[in-house]
Each structure stands twice: as structure tokens, then as C-alpha cells.
């Protein structure tokens, strides 16, 4: 495969953009190759700067639930663009979207919109802290909530109360206020919260730990978090930035039956347009500073921007009127089952993790129950396999353990092709490593 144009663009990009990319993982460093520069997308396919065509399982990292340039979304944004792109003033479009989301999710009385997932999670934390008057939060190892300072804290060296900064530039003060528990481990949460009684504003969790990748909540785990939060006057925040709208119109909260105090949404809500939201109970959201009672700051020039509103309304309309989730779950099952058979036929230990339209194959013995288990993934094999997939026209996430995304525009034929390519790629990779196949 000729990727000389991508290579030249990468060299050029590095002269004006740090590392040549605007978000670090896009550099494909975890896959050990130069980034592929993309030029065009259509349905479930993308073309790179050299004209190579790929089946796309990155899906813009989650937003493209319907696929590239879905005609109904394109029509809605073109129509809106010809009227106005952005006002910085309230619009009826925002009300329509807010009313729609409220109807879909009973936990939501009010929502405030913004542009990115990071802004949503960061603001949800500020709101939780403002409301409770407490400063500390608990998050989970392996969950990702964006690049807000409070989230760039990893577990410290055994101390119950002290995290460690995972990025230079994050202050020790922030580290002191962020604690890490283990996903699916209620005692680890109970220990932290009882040692910091009256100090924990919120527990924030991805209800499925898709960044770990795709570890499902054990039976009773989310219910247990709800009960702990109720017991300690702590708020429960579901980060539904991946799960929301992707798994069900009512979010994962509709599937698991656990009601959070606050939720955050982004990605699939607008099929690729910058749109995110913090949502939840009236008494909480009313603290945001446009109401008489409000005092917690949460602002933004692009919040509720007209193009994003039009995109979200059109996306939700398709999700409501076409059998999107049924298609996504069916193709997801096909992909996961197919990958499991390929690994079994080739006699290579593998865990195929995922839920609904998300999947990832890790090369390790099971079970995969917590982020710690991921260390058993054979990284060398994983990297070589993903490189081989790219060379053969299947684009998966350029991330260490990243889950991949199936879109509504993927067809059964796209799954068949991806499975054939996966089989060939894994066979070739194993042969090169001297594995008899």
C-alpha cells in the first residue's frame, strides 16, 4: 500500500502542529506506524491522502453512529447553515433538542449544552462540587473522562487519599482532590468514601468501562454505587459520552435501570458535530448561573450552536425512526463472534470485548474484568496485527487498547470483509512470529 502522501503530510504537519496531530493518539504511535491522513468519508468507508480506501471502524472515535455524511444530517446542517451557523443567542432549536432528550431520559429535568465531552465532564464535576460544597471526587482506574485536570490523576502509591498527576501541568492540589477506585470493585469505593466521610462530592463512572476497553459492569455494581452515593450524600455521575445514544436512545441508564444524579453526553448525539451536554435533576442544574438561584459557572460561546443543534435533532430523528440500534447490536454480535472463532481456529488466546456496536480483540487469556487485566494483552502481537489490518484496508482505532466502532452504515458485507481481513491479518502476523497456523 502506497502511503507516501500521508507520510509527506505528516512531515509537513510536524512543522506547524505539535507532533503533527491535534489530539495525541491520532499519531498512531500505539500502532507503531505513521498516521494515515484522511481526505474523504462516505457511509462506512474512508479514503486517505493517497487514495487508499478503508472500511472505517474508528467512526471518528464514536460520534459517527450513523456513518459518514448521513444524508439526513447533511441536509439538516446545510439547511441550517444557509439560515445561520451560530448566534451566541438562545434559539428554539435548543429547546426542541432539550425537550427531546428529556422525553427520552426520565433522570433528566434540565440540561445545559456545550461542545465537547471534556467540557461536559469538567462542568459536571464543578456543578457537583458547587452543589455539595465538597471538593473531592472518586473516579475509576481505566475510565476516561476527557482531559480536564481532575481526570488526569492516576492511583497514587497505595495512599487512600492521594492520587498522582498523570500529566505535567496538573497541580498537586488537583491530585489531592481526585481518588481512584477499581471498576467492578465496590469495596474499593466503600474504603475511599468511608475514609473521606463528608468530603466526596461525586463518583463519576463510565457505566460500561469502554475505555478499559468495554468492561461491562458486574451485576449489582452500578446499583451498589447508587446505594453508596445515597448513603454518603455523594452525587452519582454517569459519563454516557460513549454509551449515550449509541446503545439506546435512553442511554445505558435505560438499559441498566440505575438512575444517576447527573449525566454527560457527547459523541453519538450529533453524528460528528461538536455537541455535548450535562444533564440531570432540576435542583442540581438550577445551580448553573442563568437562574436566580444559580451560582456555578458554566458558559461557552459555542454552547447550543445552531449547526450542532440541527445535527443532533436530525441524528436523533434517524435513531428514532430507523432500526439503528437493532442493526448495530446485530452486526456487533456478528463481529465479536466472528473474531472469537478466528482466534480459536488459529489457536491464539484472545478476549473479544465489547457491547452493542463496540468491539475489540485483545490477545490474552480471560477474564477481562478490570483495567489491571489489560497488562496481560500481548502488545507486540496486538500492534503487529493492527498494522496488518491497516495495510489490508481495515481501519481500527490507533490506540493501545481502543475499542472499535460499528456504524449504521456498515453492512453485513462490511462485517464479512472485516472478518476475512482479520483472519488473513492475524494468520500473517502469527506466521511472521513463527507461530504454526
Q: Looking at the annotation, which residues are catalytic?
A: 144, 239, 267
Q: Which is nearer to ligand PMP, 56 or 414 (CB)?
A: 56
Q: Which is nearer to ligand PMP, 98 or 278 (CB)?
A: 278
Non-local CB neighbours of 48 within 8 Å, separated by 6+ positions: 3, 5, 6, 36, 37, 38, 39, 54
Q: Which is nearer to ligand PMP, 22 or 321 (CB)?
A: 22
CB atoms within 10 A of CB 259: 18
Grid cell 448513603 is found at 231
Q: Which residue is nearest to ligand PMP (CB)?
A: 117
Q: Which is nearer to ligand PMP, 123 or 211 (CB)?
A: 211
Strand order in the sheet with 200-205: 110-114, 276-280, 262-265, 235-239, 200-205, 136-140, 178-181
All three cell numbers of 11, joined, read 512531515
Non-local CB neighbours of 436 within 8 Å, separated by 6+ positions: none
Q: Which is nearer to ligand PMP, 276 or 430 (CB)?
A: 276
Q: Which is nearer to ligand PMP, 277 or 430 (CB)?
A: 277
Whether 265 contacts 257, CB under 8 Å: no
Cβ of residue 151: shortest distance to ligand PMP, in angstroms?
8
Cβ of residue 204: shortest distance to ligand PMP, in angstroms?
9
- What whole-number distance in Å separates Cα of residue 241 and Cα of residue 277? 9
Cβ of residue 206: shortest distance to ligand PMP, in angstroms?
5
Cβ of residue 145: shortest distance to ligand PMP, in angstroms?
5
Cβ of residue 144: shortest distance to ligand PMP, in angstroms?
5
Cβ of residue 219: shortest distance to ligand PMP, in angstroms?
22
Q: Which is nearer to ligand PMP, 232 or 273 (CB)?
A: 273
> Which pairing describes strands 178-181 and 351-355: parallel, antiparallel, or unpaired?
unpaired
Q: How many CA atoms lie within 13 A of 75 on its CB side?
A: 7
- What whole-number distance in Å separates Cα of residue 390 and Cα of residue 397? 10
Cβ of residue 385: shortest distance to ligand PMP, in angstroms?
22
Non-local CB neighbours of 346 within 8 Å, separated by 6+ positions: 423, 426, 427, 430, 435, 437
Residues making contact with ligand PMP (CB under 6 A): 61, 116-118, 121, 144-146, 206, 211, 239, 241-242, 266
Non-local CB neighbours of 292 within 8 Å, separated by 6+ positions: none
Amino acid at each position: 500500500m502506497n502511503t507516501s502522501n500521508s507520510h509527506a503530510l505528516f512531515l509537513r504537519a510536524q512543522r506547524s502542529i505539535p507532533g503533527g496531530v491535534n489530539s495525541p493518539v491520532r499519531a498512531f504511535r500505539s500502532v507503531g506506524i505513521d498516521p494515515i491522513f484522511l481526505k474523504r468519508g462516505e457511509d462506512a468507508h474512508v479514503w486517505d491522502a493517497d487514495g487508499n480506501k478503508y472500511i472505517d471502524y474508528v467512526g471518528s472515535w464514536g460520534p459517527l453512529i450513523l456513518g459518514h455524511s448521513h444524508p439526513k444530517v447533511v441536509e439538516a446542517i446545510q439547511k441550517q447553515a444557509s439560515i445561520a451557523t451560530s448566534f451566541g443567542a438562545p434559539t428554539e432549536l435548543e429547546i426542541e433538542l432539550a425537550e427531546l432528550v428529556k422525553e427520552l431520559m426520565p433522570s433528566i429535568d434540565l440540561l445545559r449544552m456545550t461542545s465537547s465531552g471534556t467540557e461536559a465532564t469538567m462542568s459536571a464535576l464543578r456543578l457537583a462540587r458547587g452543589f455539595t460544597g465538597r471538593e473531592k471526587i472518586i473516579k475509576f482506574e481505566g475510565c476516561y473522562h476527557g482531559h480536564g485536570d481532575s481526570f488526569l490523576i492516576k492511583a497514587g502509591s497505595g495512599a487512600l487519599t492521594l492520587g498522582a498527576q498523570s500529566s505535567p501541568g496538573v497541580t498537586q492540589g488537583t491530585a489531592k482532590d481526585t481518588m481512584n477506585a477499581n471498576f467492578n470493585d465496590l469495596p474499593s469505593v466503600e474504603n475511599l468514601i468511608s475514609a473521606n466521610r463528608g468530603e466526596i462530592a461525586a463518583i463519576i463512572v463510565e457505566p460500561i468501562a469502554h475505555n478499559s476497553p468495554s468492561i461491562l459492569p458486574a451485576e449489582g455494581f452500578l446499583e451498589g454505587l447508587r446505594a453508596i452515593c445515597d448513603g454518603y450524600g455523594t452525587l452519582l455521575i454517569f459519563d454516557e459520552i460513549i454509551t449515550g445514544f449509541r446503545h439506546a436512545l435512553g442511554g445505558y441508564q435505560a438499559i441498566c435501570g440505575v438512575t444517576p444524579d447527573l449525566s454527560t453526553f457527547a459523541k453519538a448525539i450529533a453524528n460528528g458535530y461538536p455537541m455535548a451536554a450535562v444533564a440531570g435533576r432540576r435542583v442540581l442544574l438550577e445551580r448553573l448561573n442563568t437562574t436566580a438561584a444559580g451560582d456555578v459557572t458554566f458558559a461557552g460561546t459555542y454552547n447550543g450552536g445552531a449547526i450542532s443543534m440541527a445535527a443532533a435533532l436530525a441524528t436523533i430523528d434517524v435513531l428514532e425512526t430507523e432500526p439503528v440500534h437493532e442493526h448495530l447490536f446485530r452486526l456487533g454480535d456478528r463481529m465479536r463472534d466472528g473474531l472469537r472463532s478466528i482466534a480459536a481456529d488459529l489457536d491464539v488466546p484472545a478476549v473479544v470485548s465489547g457491547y452493542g456496536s463496540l468491539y475489540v480483540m485483545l490477545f490474552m487469556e480471560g477474564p477481562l474484568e478490570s483495567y489491571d487485566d489489560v497488562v496481560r494483552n500481548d502488545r507486540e502481537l496486538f500492534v503487529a496485527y493492527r498494522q496488518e489490518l491497516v495495510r489490508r484496508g481495515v481501519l481500527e482505532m490507533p490506540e493501545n487498547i481502543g475499542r472499535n466502532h460499528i456504524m449504521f452504515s456498515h453492512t453485513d458485507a462490511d462485517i464479512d470483509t472485516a472478518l476475512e481481513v482479520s483472519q488473513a491479518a492475524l494468520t500473517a502476523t502469527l506466521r511472521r512470529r513463527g507461530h504454526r497456523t
